[in-house]
Each structure stands twice: as structure tokens, then as C-alpha cells.
Structure 1
Amino acid sequence: ARIQEGAASLEGYGLVFKNNVMASGVIPQITIMAGPAAGGAVYSPALTDFLIMVKGDAYYMFVTGPEITKVVLGEDVSMQDLGGAVVHASKSGVVHFMVDSEQEAINTAKRLLSYLPSNNMEEPPYMDTGDTNDREVKDAESIVPTDSAKTFDIRDLVYAVVDNGEFLEVHKHWAQNITVGFARVAGNVVGIVANNSAYASGAIDIDAADKAARFIRFCDAFNIPLVSIVDTPGYIPGTDQEYRGIIRHGAKMLYAFAEATVPKITVVVRRSYGGAHIAMSIKSLGA
């Protein structure tokens, strides 16, 4: 929209946003960010379920650009530092998948769609993977340290358990203390929610709670069973988290698990302490 076009020019944006919202939870919505976006144009991608963004100088998104930021705040910042793929994939959490090329973005979207039903009335697509649910996970004991003070990457365990070691991680670079993504077990699609002790010892913070809650609600909307893999010492303490609203954000995760009506399985691999024990889906929340 241009200033000289007046408020009426914004009505088009509003119609797009309304359609995004009306389709939310009914059909999967995926955005490929293959160019720049600024102002109102950034909100439709943010309203969709998954945003795939290409790295590079030609690709960026922000509400307010560097020039206005300079005038208003006196802050010098480049387009990439303000709204590039790396920023949104690792700091803001707007981007779910960061890729190196537009072709990779298309391939990622295709792979993502292979896990999703076409709408919320369908079941997720079954695939004969050649893997079975009675396969012994021989590497499990070597992957998970018996000493709870030692950290490990929970994704190694996920790869060992799921069919053929295929796991599509969502938000890989953001809130890494919790891992979420799609996989198959005996050919059936599942959503994985797992604490990752390789980052912040697997403790839950504001971003981790938001990341998990959004993913849980998506899976519930599209009939995807949830598997929680628990290894957490609790919530991250301190004034920073409390002042920013860890209670409010942590409640989102509790709400999401309690609300979900899909099958929920919880596996405690080591630690499960305090409020985080509840937040990772216990029996009273429907596991």
C-alpha cells in the first residue's frame, strides 16, 4: 500500500488476512518466502502454518524497514540484520524452515506436505516405510547418558526410533531447547515434541513454550498423534523469564496439550521435574 492511496488500499490486505484466519485449522497453509516483503505484506505469511524462507540478500521481511528505523531510533541496521532468513529462523521464530535456494524451498514444501492431510477431516497419509513397530532400537542405551548431569542431542534418539531415521524438524534453529517435527512410526505420521538437553539442559523457556504450543495445536487440528519425549529439569528461572511472562507463555503449552484430542504418548527418558513435568503432557492432561 502507498500512503497516497489512503486507508482503502489496506482493505485488500484485510481480506487476505481474514481468509488466512478462516482457513486456519481447516487446511494446511504453507508460505514460501521467495523475495522481499515489508509492512502489511508480512502478516499473511505469519498467519500461515509454515513459512519457508530462502537465505540471501534478495530475501527479507520486516514490518518497518532500515530507513524508518534509522530516522525514528537512530539505529543503523541492514535489511538482512533486520529481517533476513537467519534472523527470523533463529531469533524471531517467524520462519519454520530456512533453506539455501528456491528449489530447496519447493522440495521442503513437498516433503512437508507428505506428512499432512489435505484438510482437517482427513487422516494424515499412511506410507509403507518398510519399518515396523516391533523393531528393536539397539542404539538407545548408548545414545542416552545414564548420568543426568550429562547432556545429549535428543534428535539422535528420535532418528533411532522413527521409521528409517527420517525426521522433518520444524523451527530447527529457534528455541533449540525443545525439538518439534514430523516423523513416521510403522508408517503412521506422528508429531514429536522433545526436550533437548544439548541446549539449556532441556529446560523450558518462553520461546520453547510458544514453539511447542503452536506445533501441538497444529497436530491436534490435523489429526496427527503426538509423542512427547521428556528430559527436562524444569523451567528456566530468573527475572528475565518472569518479567517477560513465562507464566503466561508456559500456560499456552499446558493449554495446548490439555486441549488436544489426538492420541498422546509420553516417554520419559531421564528427568521430568516440577511444572515442566506437567507441561510435557502427563496422564491428567490426556496422555
Structure 2
Amino acid sequence: MHRSYFADNKNEETFHMSWEADIEELRRRQAMTARMGGEEKVARQHANGKLTVRERIDALLDQGSFREIGSVAGRGSYDAEGQLVDLSPANFVFGRGRIDGRPVVVGGDDFTVRGGAADASIHEKQVQCEKLAGEYRQPLIRLVDGTGGGGSVKSYETIGHTYVPANPGWEVVVQNLETIPVVALALGSVAGLGAAKTVASHYSLMVKDISQMFIAGPAVVARAGESLTKEELGGAMIHAKAGAVDDVVDSEAEAFERARRFLSYLPSSVDELPPRIAPTDDPERRDDWLIKAVPKERRRVYDMRRVVKSVVDQGSFFEMGKWFGRSAITGLARIDGWPVAVLASDPHFYGGGWTADTAQKVVRFVDLADTFHLPVVHLVDIPGFLIGLDAEKTATIRHGARALSAVYQARVPWCTVVIRRAFGVAGAAMMNHTRARYRFAWPSGDWGSLPMEGGIEVAYRAELDKAPDREAAMAEITERLEKVRSPFRSAEAFSIEEIIDPRDTRPLLCEFANLAAPLRRPGFRAAGFRP
């Protein structure tokens, strides 16, 4: 009896001294915020073909790896005694997790809570998400599904005044672009600051049918005189073709897979180097069909993507920006297990000639490679810049000069393979010629200041004007020039370093990748102003 008294008294004392009741209260609050916007709003999200933010995080990250931060942040309602009655969560969920075992930071909008509008947000959560990723050097994935900004004009009445616009934490968004890989997945109707955060990334995508993106939505645009649906105003393909986003996918599951794959080529931050994986493809593999890949007839096109996939490790090519600036192909790949950035020409579009859009695409891609220490492999077939009135109206030469500057400012190892044409200023963007020219050419190589077909009449006008038979004179001049057009003449003069059998391209690129690997240096890049 005496012992029982003291035992019971000890248990009661332990209960009063512990924090069990407080932990129970924490769990009760977490259960409230986990409901998100409530059953009805969650059901509506599913009915619209979309996952909730918590389902998205679980689908993206390694199973069980998510560690939420700010799990009970929101707006509580209390009774007269000061007891919590309900807790409406903030409409942004973020935390730490892992992708393929590597630490990452993920943050996502909760559209079930006021549609992602600012009057349901605690903006400090988004700022801390960005800071956590940047300061701890972890890749950041944004799951964007809302405005993420000032919300509607209704918020003016709520706070009692209007306000001078400012984007909290935008300086961190900018810093992160030069520090860590940033992925943005637009997974719903994205507007305003949400749209800005989508494009302020290294890799962005939209999902067909469920994603739209606007500076301002249809209702606001209608007041400016344009009546458009969400798809007409900001559908996924509109932005893919304009270069606002890099990719369009068919489902959220595919979006998460693409995000994971993109990150697999990159280091966690600029303080590290891109990781090599165990090689799975023979570095000496020679595909026989490459000897016939480029037609003898110079005006005929060919499949450059097939060439790319042949010379990199099988199944490793990850294309980005397919629908924008389409005379250039950009993507990540592996060569003998080493991650590289691949830039290639696509002769199906303007014969591979660079448009203003193509130049913008090249600038952004070269910056990506240089920021994250990815050696560049450039497969060249560039007949020059696009010419004509449209080219002049779109400032092609200015954008082209920026692209050329980006190439010359890059400090990563660079290997060029001239597949066919390289003419003029755009052709000179094949590499920085002042560095050691790690360069090869296929026997189909054809280069100069101007393509011969378009330059003969200009260069030989006086001779042609005097000729009694202009067509015969043209034929005779062409025949003379064809003799000096051979790439072997250039090789004799060491104007091109080495002509190779196309089938040897992969073994030579594998050699380059292994030589380049120890030359990569971690740290921040420094690039000056570009025109």
C-alpha cells in the first residue's frame, strides 16, 4: 500500500512535469492543417485533374523523406476562453526531402486554400523556402499552382489600404539562380508572381490541359478588350513555343519524373561538380550508319537528334526547350558516364540558321552549362544568321552577338564537331577560337564567310556582267570554287584541326569527357555585360 501510493504519486508527477499534453496539442494542430482547404476543396482539386500539394510532394520525393517546415502556420480561430477552435493553413507547404537520396528543398502552393491567393498566404514561408535552399546549397523545386503574389483587389479592403508593389524575397530568387539548380513546375493556373517564379528557374515545364500561365488572367485581360479562355490566353504550348517554359508534359507524374531526371545531371550547387555515374555504354561504340548520316546533296536535311543520341551514352539525352528557337537543339546527356551539355543544329528549321529566338536559347543554355560546370559538346551545322526583313525587325544581330559573347565568356571545357556548315558570324559561335581548339570536322564540312551558293553573284558580279554567256560563266566559276571548297584544303592549311570518320565521333567524345573532367572547377561564374 505504501509502495502503491508512492508509485501513483510518481506517475502523476511525471505527467505534470512532461510535455506530452503540448505534443498532443501540436499533433491536433498539424491534423487541422493537413486537411488543407477541406474535403470539398480537395475533391474539387481532384475533379479538375490535379493532385493536392501534399500528394505532389509525396510523388516527387523519395518515399518518407519529407520533413515539413512551418507545419502549423496558418490562421487560427479561438473561442471566448482563448481555446483554438480551428486552424486554416497557409497556402504554401515547404520542407526538406530527398530525390534519389540527395537532399533537396521543395515548396508548393496549396490551391485548395483560397486558390493560392495572397490573402491566405504567409509570405515569409516562401522566402524561407528560398533561403533554406540557397544557404544550405540544396536544389530547389517549386510546385507552382496559384498567383503567389498580391492576390485580388479584395485584399485592399482586408488590410485597409493599398500598397506599393514589392516582391518579398526576390533578391533570394535571383541569388539562387547563380547558386543552386532551380526547377519550377507549373501545375495549374499560374499568374503574376507565380508566373515570374516559374520562369525564374533553370528548368521549367507545364502540364497539358491543367496548366496555364499569364501575366494577368482572362478576367483582367477582358477589361483591356481581349476576351479569351484560359487556354487561349496562356496554354502550355503558347509558352513552350515562346520560350517562357522549357517543356510540356502530359501528366503530373511525368512532370515529377522530368524534374528528377534534370537534377540527376547537375551538382547540388555551384560549390560541387556534376556527378559521374557508372558507365553503361561502350566508349568505343561506333555506329556504322553515321557514315551516311549527312546527305551528299547539301540542300537535303537529316536527323540531328539521331546523331546526338548515337554519340552520347544510350538513353541519356535529355532535351530542353524543344519548341523554341528550333534551329538549335539543347539538352543534357552523359558521355562515358560524365554529364555534359549538348548544343546541336537542326537543319529542319531554317537550315540550321540562327534566328533571334535561337540566339536567346543558346545564351540561356550556355549560361546553364557554365554555371554548373558542365562541359559543352557542340555539333555544328550553322549556315549563318537568318536573313531578311523579319530578321532585321527581331534584332537578330543583337541577340546573335549576345550568343557569341556567351560562348566566348564560358569557361567550361568545350568540344566542337563540325557536322556540315559553319558560315559567317553565327558559324563562328561554334566555340571560342582563342582557346585551345578541341575540334573535329566530318568530311561533309563546309565553311566560309558566306555560303558559296549565295555569294558567287555578289563576289563575281563584274566578271559575270562582262561574260557573253552569263550561265556558262557562272558554271565555270562554280567549278573553280568547288575545287577549293574541299575540307581537306582547309585541313592542309590547319584551318580545321582534324577531319574524322563520323563513326569515330563517340570514342573521341568519350576521350574528351574524361580529359575535361579534372579541368572542371567548382565555384561561381563571372560573366560581364552582354550586348
Structures share fold, TM-score greater than 0.5? yes
- Of 187, 193, 196, which aligns to 1:34? 187
CA distance in 1, matches of 2:180, 2:232: 33
State which of 168, 171, 175 in structure 2 corresponds to 1:15: 168
Correspondences of 1:80-229 after superposition (within 5 Å): 80-90=231-241, 92-229=242-379
The answer to whether the aligner puts 1:270 opposite 2:423 as a matched pair is no
* Aligned partners of 1:194 and 1:230 also within 8 Å: yes
> Mean alpha-carbon deviation: is it higher for 18-27 or for 262-271?
18-27
**Contact 1:148–1:271, Cα closer than 8 Å, also in 2:** no
1:46 is displaced (CA, Å) by 1.2
Q: Return the offset for 1:144.
A: 2.0
Amino acid at match of 2:185: I
Distance 1:207 1:61 in 2: 20
User: Matched residues in 2 for 1:269 and 1:108: separation?
Assistant: 29
Q: Distance in 2 between matches of 1:162 and 1:7?
A: 56
Secondary structure of 1:164 counterpart: coil
Structure 1 residue 280, shift from structure 2 partner: 2.4
> Does structure 1 retain, via aligned residues, the 8 Å contact 2:309–2:317?
yes
- Once the two structures are superposed, the pairs formed by residues 49-60 of structure 1 within 5 Å of their partners are 49-56=202-209, 58-60=210-212
Supply the distance in 2 between the matched residues of 1:134 and 1:260 (Cα, whole angstroms): 29
CA contact (8 A) 1:158 1:165 kept: no
Partner Cα distance (1:60, 1:257) in 2: 33
From 33, 58, 67, the equivalent of 2:219 is 67
Number of residue pairs the alignment of both structures matches? 282
Superposed displacement of residue 286, structure 1: 6.2
The residue aligned with 1:249 is 399
Distance in 2 of aligned mates of 1:281 and 1:7: 52
Output the amino acid matched with 2:401.
Answer: A
Aligned-partner Cα distance in 1 for 2:197–2:360 = 19
For 1:215-242, what per-residue CA distance to the aligned partner results, in whole angstroms no more than 9, with x for missing partners? 1011101000001110011111112221
Q: Cα distance 1:128–1:79, how it changes in 2: closer, same or farther (>3 A)?
A: same
Partner of 2:384: 234
2:162 and 2:184 mapped to 1: Cα distance? 26
| Gaps in structure 2 of 5+ consecutive residues | 1-149, 438-531
Q: Is the 8 A contact 1:139 1:160 kept in 2?
A: no
Structure 2: distance between partners of 1:9 and 1:67: 23
Higher relative CO (Cα under 8 Å, sequence separation at least 6) belongs to: 1
TM-score, normalised by the number of residues in structure 2: 0.51
The match for 2:501 is none
**Matched residues in 1 for 2:204 and 2:179: separation?**
17
Query: Structure 1: 5+ residue runs without aligned partners?
Result: none
Please tell me whether Structure 1 or Structure 2 has the larger radius of gyration of its CA atoms: 2
2-structure distance, mates of 1:146, 1:128 = 38
Asked whether the equivalents of residues 25 and 218 of structure 1 are also in contact (C-alpha less than 8 Å), the reply is no
Structure 1 residues 62, 137: CA separation in 2 closer, same or farther (over 3 Å shift)?
Answer: same
State whether residues 408 and 432 of structure 2, in contact with CA within 8 Å, keep that contact through their aligned partners in structure 1: no
RMSD, aligned CA: 1.7
Partner of 2:228: 77
Instruction: Tell me if structure 2 keeps the 8 A contact 1:126–1:187.
Output: yes
Q: Tell me, what secondary structure is at the counterpart of 2:384?
A: coil
CA contact (8 A) 2:326 2:346 kept: yes
What whole-Å deviation, never above 9, does each CA across 1:166-201 have from its counterpart, x for those lacking one? 210000122211100000111111101111001111
Q: Distance in 1 between matches of 2:302 and 2:342?
A: 17
Structure 2: which amino acid aligns with 1:80? E
Whether the 8 Å CA contact 1:129–1:164 is kept in 2: the answer is no
Q: Which AA in structure 2 matches 1:87? A: I
